[in-house]
Amino acid sequence: MEVKSLDGKGIDFLIELEGLRLKPYLDSVNIPTIGVGCTYYEDGKRVTIKDLPITKERAISLFLNILGPYEKLVWSVTRDDLSQDQFTALVCLAFNIGQTSFRNSTVLKKINAKKSIEEIRASWFAWKFAGGKPILLGRRKKEFEYFIS
């Protein structure tokens, strides 16, 4: 069975959430990042602030290369009856919080247990903190709205 993947609309949505930056920068928790929320390159090398800028094409290529493991994770640990938009929203969440956090999240447990949308929402919005501050609330709102669309 083929792994589900983001469609063009989903890719555009995740790029919108992450932003596109061609020079290395420190993210909200001071992790060197480049392109579309990428913290490492295809070869596994971590991004550093001293890295050279990249082109938009390289940023998109890097992002698409790194996206695969997140799609595979979400596909492998979720129910088979999720819509494309639900799958996309979960990949966006996993891309932001990391694979281990997603795999162990209450969001995932509640979705797989077919809990109420209110319970899922509460778990989703629990991931609003970065660096101890609730700075991800806007992102979580966009992701969750995509999930329920």
Global confidence as pTM: 0.94
Predicted confidence at residue 9, as pLDDT, reads 97
Active site residue 18: yes
- Helix (H) or strand (E) holding 13, with range, is helix 8-18
- Indicate the number of domains in the chain: 1
Convert the pLDDT of each residue in 58-99 to its tens digit: 999 999 999 999 999 999 999 999 999 999 999 999 999 999
In a domain, 3, yes or no: no
Q: 94 Cβ partners below 8 Å, 6+ apart? A: 70, 73, 74, 102
Q: What is the CATH number of the domain that holds 113?
A: 1.10.530.40
> What band does 3 get if pLDDT is binned at 50, 70 and 90?
confident
Active site residue 51: no
Which residue in the list 7, 12, 16, 18 is annotated as catalytic? Answer: 18
Nearest residue to 23 (alpha-carbon basis) of 48, 52, 63: 52
In a domain, 93, yes or no: yes
Domain extent, residue 143, equals 8-148
Nearest residue to 77 (alpha-carbon basis) of 48, 100, 43: 100
In a domain, 130, yes or no: yes
In a domain, 87, yes or no: yes
Which residue in the list 27, 51, 85, 119 is annotated as catalytic? Answer: 27
Burial class of residue 39 (count of CB atoms within 10 Å of its CB; 0-12, 13-18, 19+): middle
Nearest residue to 34 (alpha-carbon basis) of 13, 9, 61: 61
